[in-house]
Amino acid sequence: MSADNCNNVNPIDIPMNAEIRSNASIHPSDSISNKYILVPVKSGFWKYLLIGMILLLLLFSLTCNLTFWGMITDSIKPSKYGIQEKFYSGDESGSDKIAIISVIGTIEEGEDYKDYIDSAMNDKDVKGVVLRVDSPGGTVTGSDYILNRLNQLRKKKPIVVSMGGLACSGGYYISMCVGNEKDSIFIEPTGWTGSIGVIISRYDASELFNKKLGVFEDPITSGPNKAMGSPLIPLSDEHRKIFQDLVDDAFIRFKDIIKEGRPRYAKNPQELDDLATGQVYSANQALKLGLVDKIGFLDDAVERICDLAHISQKTAKVVKYTKEASFKDMLFSIQQGDKPCVVEDVKKVINKAASPRAYYLWQM
């Protein structure tokens, strides 16, 4: 910039990334203002300033998140078996506890609930348990495993069931953990239950592969029944009867378990046979049929278990059991964005198609 132009520069027009330097080549007779020129400054300063501000914002955000997480976990107390106790109601400082164990979603492996049940069983401060069921059921073996563990728990402490929106098939099966205790099964007014029965899901893709694609399964087996149930082989009448016998056997056990938990059906088995068609029942229908005892919410079940445990609901500490998430679980959750994993869903469908299993499950 020339000296003449420098004299005409408005200070407002000077860019922020410029500095004033002495111009030694200017003649001494020129004015002082003409001895300086504007030289642009490299943008590195502003770049580092911006990076510094971003780092400060990230540090501030991390501090806020840690503080918020501390506020949440402050009411969650760890217990044995990797189980955490989240305060629900009553007296947070109370010594007598009521534990809420939740079975939510499809039941796959019964061992998933072993730690919850064992924690309640071995905690001397836990005087009773509310089983919260919101499930369409699941595998026969998984449901039976949970029921078996809960029956062992009931020998030491009373159990009351609180059914949420759905307690069907295997969800109803595990609800028989109350034994023949009166007024021990509650269902919410809009809840559904029932679907008493057994199903083996099977997909027949033999026509598609054999006729359309020209692909045939030709297994080498040790016996004529080893490959039965394959989706690529049509199901013969003989194999269908074998599967039906397996279903009937599991169905008989289902009804026997209900008779233990609902004595009225032991006295009148035909009544149970009439309603055990796989049908789903509303709360009012289930109450009339004797499948449940009361229509009420979780708090009503808590009140009942306190009565059975002979403790005051006001002084009892009611806690919900939750599983402490591992770092791997949290990382996987972040990677998936808390959305269902499509790959896992596809794998489940393939596994069901390839290996038929018996389910106490209501599936639409």
Phi-psi label, residue 105: left if phi above 0, alpha if psi -120 to 50, beta otherwise: left
Specify the DSSP element, H or E, that contains 261. Answer: helix 237-261
Cα within 13 Å of Cα(2), Cβ side: 3
Q: What are phi and psi of 321, to 5 degrees?
A: -85, 130
Task: Quote the tokens at residue 233.
Answer: 């082989």
Cα separation, 266 vs 30, in Å, equals 117
Cα separation, 182 vs 323, in Å, equals 31
Cα separation, 106 vs 120, in Å, equals 22
Given a contact cutoff of 8 angstroms between Cβ atoms, the answer to whether 177 and 155 are in contact is no
Given a contact cutoff of 8 angstroms between Cβ atoms, the answer to whether 125 and 155 are in contact is no
Helix axes of 114-122 and 140-154: crossing angle, nearest 10 degrees: 0
Specify the DSSP element, H or E, that contains 293. Answer: none
Residue reference for tokens 């056990």: 253
Burial class (CB in 10 A: 0-12, 13-18, 19+), 24: exposed
Distance, C-alpha 318 to centroid of its chain: 21
Catalytic residues: 169, 226
Task: Quote the tokens at residue 338.
Answer: 């808390």
Task: Quote the tokens at residue 48.
Answer: 């580092």
